[in-house]
Amino acid sequence: MGPDSFDKKSDNFAAQTGNMINTVIFDMDGLLVDSEPLWGLAMREVFSTVGVQLSPELTHKTTGLRTKEVVSYWHNYFKWNTKSAAQVTEEIIDSVTSKIIADGRSMEGLHYILDFFKERNFKIGLASSSPKRLIDSVLEHLQIRDYFQAVTSAEFEEYGKPHPAVYLACAKSLGSDPLDCIAFEDSVTGMTAAKAARMVTVVVPEPHNRQDPRYKLANMQLNSLLDFNDEKLDWLRQ
């Protein structure tokens, strides 16, 4: 999607923010770390222990939600009684953490985009649906912790994405007005949260999701973090 094809409503919103944009907030899973396949594998493995078989298509249905919300969703649907929802949640988190530490890879353009905003003196934050202990493991594994002045987890919010709470908490921690923030997301759930927080929103969907018409609600859609540059930043600031 090029600047000329951006949604007019998004164009008007970006125009209203003026040139005060000085903060960037990133989602984590599927945007900075290639963890979505590992989440899917961990969920299928753990759910199989309670007699629930989840296909990759079914696991995609809950992308962007907190782990406990994913488990609650499927528990309400399949109604297993061999393990508690809390136990299943902890087992999934343990499994995906170990898989990321063993096999987790950074997404294309990770260091490029972080360096891009660091060199331009942006305040940089992270707002993830993942629990804090998983976030910490990813930041250590990818060796990117020092880039972030604020790291927030929806684990500590009353509501997870698509509610804007975790984005608003991150902006507050950075001392930034939400209207001065760019949010980078990869999922519709996360994009909705960032838009609800009134942030300029850039989406980088997985290849199989790029044609989802809902992404037109974002201010900008990219195929890779490497596609972002000064021209696109200037466009968002206009």
Q: Cα–Cα distance between 110 and 108 in angstroms, integer? A: 6
Q: Cα–Cα distance between 57 and 35 in angstroms, integer? A: 16
Question: Among all chains, which residue has been given the structure tokens 């790029």?
Answer: 210
Q: Give the residue from 230, 229, 210 showing the smallest Cα distance to 221.
A: 210
Q: Give the residue from 179, 176, 117 showing the smallest Cα distance to 152.
A: 176
Active site residue 27: yes
Strands of the sheet containing 23-26, edge to edge, are 150-153, 123-128, 23-26, 181-185, 200-203, 220-221
Rg of the chain, C-alpha, whole Å: 18
Q: Cα–Cα distance between 199 and 219 in angstroms, integer? A: 9
- Annotated catalytic residue, options 4, 7, 11, 29: 29
- Annotated catalytic residue, options 4, 7, 27, 177: 27
Active site residue 34: no
Neighbouring CB atoms inside 10 A of 207's CB total 7
| Angle subtended at Cα 29 by Cα 157 and Cα 84, rounded to the nearest 5 degrees | 60
Q: Give the residue from 97, 89, 53, 54 showing the smallest Cα distance to 71.
A: 89
Taken as a whole, the chain contains a residue count of 238
Report which DSSP code applies to 28.
Answer: -
| 177 SS3 class | coil
**Strand 181-185 with 150-153, pairing:** unpaired
Residues with a known catalytic role: 27, 29
